[in-house]
Amino acid sequence: MSSKGMVRAIFLVVFAVWLMIWVMLPTKLYKNTWTPNLETTLNSTYFSGQAAFGCAYLHFQNKSTDSSNHSKRLGLDSATALLKRPVVVMAPLGIVSALELTFAAMFVALLIWSLANYLYVSFGNLHMHKEGEKIWEAKLRSVSLRLGYIGNICWAFLFFPVTRGSSVLPLIGLTSESSIKYHIWLGHLSNILFAAHTIGFIIYWAITNQMAEV
């Protein structure tokens, strides 16, 4: 395996592990078992690792000047080219390929999975934060808090679509220019989720006579 291929393989493994952590984050296993271990073993963020691997990847990539051979080495064969063809052309989505639509659907699935697990775990262990608080009020607070958690997922992925010289996007046949719309969508979605998070807490504080918390 070439040096460039080795860097690519290492980065894909790191990226896959990072994605797995987001999938496991809302589960009981992550909270009770993984969190203590991660806090003691991880001293750096994923993005510092992305920067290091990204620099190495670009260093090897710059040695190649033949774009067609480069595409073949990245595995962008006829099947991938087929996935890059537009399948949706409509406002406000714009032009969306099958590959982009697939990743968008996977991200929506991640949000649904995360919210469902957060609520399942939370509703099973409700904590009353005020004397005399009703169950539905505690659930409203829990839902509002978890909407903020889901917004954090949008922020975590926000800059992937527009990172120039990314070592991730070329591996899956995407470019920062073609993915700008996803950066915009993630920004809008995070604003909606954080707005719902804020409104939910304001309603909760209002009905429990805690408006000073605002």
pLDDT at 11 over 90: no
Closest CA to 163 of 171, 151, 175, 173: 175
Res 66: pLDDT: 45
Q: How many CA atoms lie within 13 A of 24 on its CB side?
A: 14
Mean pLDDT calculated for residue range 177-184? 83
81 forms beta bridges with none
Arithmetic mean of pLDDT, 49-61: 57
Q: Tell me the pLDDT tens digit for each residue of 89-107.
A: 766 667 777 777 888 899 9
Amino acid at 53: F
- Average pLDDT on 46-65 reads 55
Tens digits of per-residue pLDDT, 126-178?
888 777 889 999 999 999 999 999 999 999 999 888 887 776 777 766 777 77
Q: Is the model more confident about 43 or about 33?
A: 33
Q: Is pLDDT of 42 > 90?
A: no
Instruction: Give the residue, 116 or 83, on which the prediction is more confident.
Output: 116
What's the rounded Cα separation, in Å, for the pair 113 and 6?
A: 32
Which carries the bigger pLDDT value, residue 190 or residue 165? Answer: 190
Residue 31, H or E segment:
none
The pLDDT of residue 209: 87
Phi, psi of 90 (to 5 degrees): -165, 150
Residue 46: per-residue pLDDT: 46
pLDDT for 14 beyond 90: no
